[in-house]
A and B are shown apart, each in its own frame.
Chain A
Amino acid sequence: MDTGGTFSDSVIIKQDGTFVTGKASTTPEDLEGCFFNCIEAASKKLGKKIEEVLSNTILLGFGTTAGTNALLTRAGGPMLGLITTKGMEDTTIIMRTVGRFAGLGIVESMHIAATDRPEPLIPRGLIKGVTERINSKGEVVIPLYEDEVRQAVKELVSEGVEGIAVITLWSFLNDAHERRIKEIIQEMAPNLTVTISSVVTPLIREYSRFNTTIINLYIGRPVRKLFSKVEDRLREYCYKLPLLVMQASGGLSKSDVVQPITTLHSGPVGALSGVEFFKELYGFKNCMGSDVGGTSFDICVVPEEGVKDLREAIVNRFHLRNPMREIISIGAGGGTIAYIDKLSGKIRVGPESAGSVPGPVCYGLGGENPTVTDADVVMNRIDPDYFLGGEMKLDRDKSYKAIKEKIADPMGITVEEAAYGIIAIVDNRMSSIISGTLGERGLDPEKFVLFAFGGAGATHCAGYSHGLRFDKVIVPPFASTFSAFGASTADVRHRYANSPYIVVYNLPFDVMTRNFKLKSLDDFPKYAIERFNQVNYNFEKEAFKDMADEGFKKDEIILEYKIEARYGGQLWEIVSTSPINRIESFEDIKTLIKFFENKYEELYGTEAKYPEGGFEIITMALEVSASAVKPVIPKKEFMGMDATNALKEKREVYFSGGFILSKIYEMNKLEYGNLINGPAIIEGIDTSLVIPPDRKVTVDEYGNMVMEY
Chain B
Amino acid sequence: MQTLDPIKYEMFYNRVEQALIEAKNTVRYLAGSVIVREGGEVGESLHLPDGATVHLSAGLLMHIQSSARTIMYMNENGFAEDIGYYEGDQFINNNAHIGGQHIPDMQVVDPFLGRVNLWAGLELSVISLKSVPLNP
Q: Is B1 an interface residue, CB under 8 A from the partner?
A: no
Q: Is A425 an interface residue, CB under 8 A from the partner?
A: yes
Q: Is B117 an interface residue, CB under 8 A from the partner?
A: no
Contact A421 B7 (CB under 8 A): yes
Known: A348-B10, A569-B131, A569-B132. A432 touches B18 (CB 8 A): yes
Q: Is B56 an interface residue, CB under 8 A from the partner?
A: yes
Contact with B along A563-579 (1 / 0, CB 8 A): 00011111111100000
Known: A440-B26, A569-B133, A572-B39. A411 touches B17 (CB 8 A): no
| Nearest CB of A to B132, in Å | 5
Contact A570 B58 (CB under 8 A): no
Within 8 A of A (CB), among B96-112: none
Known: A570-B34, A604-B32, A608-B32. A436 touches B135 (CB 8 A): no
Number of A residues near B (Cβ < 8 Å) is 49
Contact B34 A604 (CB under 8 A): yes
Contact B128 A440 (CB under 8 A): no
**Nearest CB in chain B to that of A411: its residue:** B6
Complex interface: stretch among A106-114, A271-279, A384-392:
A106-114
In the bound complex, residues from chain A placing their C-beta under 8 Å from that of B58 are: 105-106, 109-110
Q: Is A551 an interface residue, CB under 8 A from the partner?
A: no
Contact A571 B128 (CB under 8 A): yes
Docked CA distance A584–B26 (Å): 40
Contact A569 B134 (CB under 8 A): yes
Docked CA distance A404–B134 (Å): 66
Which of B11, B37, B38, B135 is close to A506, meaning CB atoms less than 8 Å apart? Answer: B135
**Nearest CB in chain A to that of B31: its residue:** A604
Contact with A along B3-24 (1 / 0, CB 8 A): 0001101110111011101101
Contact A109 B7 (CB under 8 A): no
Which of A425, A439, A572 is close to B10, meaning CB atoms less than 8 Å apart? Answer: A425
**Nearest CB in chain A to that of B40: its residue:** A98
Contact A440 B129 (CB under 8 A): no
Contact B128 A603 (CB under 8 A): no
Contact B25 A610 (CB under 8 A): no
Which of B22, B32, B38, B133 is close to A440, meaning CB atoms less than 8 Å apart? Answer: B22
Within 8 A of B (CB), among A525-575: 566-574
Contact A613 B133 (CB under 8 A): yes
**Nearest CB in chain B to that of A101: its residue:** B61
Q: Is B57 an interface residue, CB under 8 A from the partner?
A: yes
In the bound complex, residues from chain B placing their C-beta under 8 Å from that of A571 are: 34-35, 38-39, 127-128
Docked CA distance A92–B10 (Å): 38
Contact B22 A436 (CB under 8 A): yes
Which of B14, B57, B62 is close to A429, meaning CB atoms less than 8 Å apart? Answer: B14
Contact A347 B6 (CB under 8 A): yes
Docked CA distance A574–B35 (Å): 11
The size bracket of the interface on B is 35 or more
Q: Is A162 an interface residue, CB under 8 A from the partner?
A: no
Contact A436 B21 (CB under 8 A): yes
Contact B134 A614 (CB under 8 A): yes
Contact B6 A568 (CB under 8 A): no
Contact A428 B15 (CB under 8 A): yes
In the bound complex, residues from chain A placing their C-beta under 8 Å from that of B47 are: none
In the bound complex, residues from chain A placing their C-beta under 8 Å from that of B32 are: 604-605, 607-608
Docked CA distance A506–B35 (Å): 23
| Nearest CB of A to B133, in Å | 6
Contact B11 A428 (CB under 8 A): yes
Contact B14 A106 (CB under 8 A): no
Contact A435 B18 (CB under 8 A): yes
Docked CA distance A571–B11 (Å): 38
In the bound complex, residues from chain B placing their C-beta under 8 Å from that of A441 are: 29
In the bound complex, residues from chain A placing their C-beta under 8 Å from that of B130 are: 608, 610
Contact A505 B134 (CB under 8 A): yes
| Nearest CB of A to B19, in Å | 8
Docked CA distance A541–B129 (Å): 38
Known: A604-B32, A605-B32. A110 touches B61 (CB 8 A): yes
What would 23 A/B residue contacts be, using CB atoms closer than 8 Å?
A105-B58, A106-B56, A110-B56, A112-B61, A346-B9, A420-B7, A421-B6, A421-B10, A425-B11, A428-B10, A428-B15, A436-B21, A436-B22, A568-B134, A569-B132, A569-B133, A571-B39, A572-B128, A574-B34, A574-B38, A603-B37, A604-B34, A613-B131
Closest 6 CB pairs of A and B: A572-B38, A440-B25, A432-B18, A421-B7, A436-B22, A569-B131
Add 11 more A-B contacts to A311-B38, A428-B11, A571-B35 (CB < 8 A).
A106-B17, A110-B61, A425-B10, A432-B14, A439-B26, A440-B26, A442-B29, A570-B131, A573-B34, A604-B34, A610-B131
Which of A's residues lie within 8 Å of B, judged by CB? 101, 105-106, 109-110, 112, 311, 345-349, 411, 413, 417, 420-421, 424-425, 428-429, 432-433, 435-436, 439-442, 505-506, 566-574, 603-605, 607-608, 610, 612-614
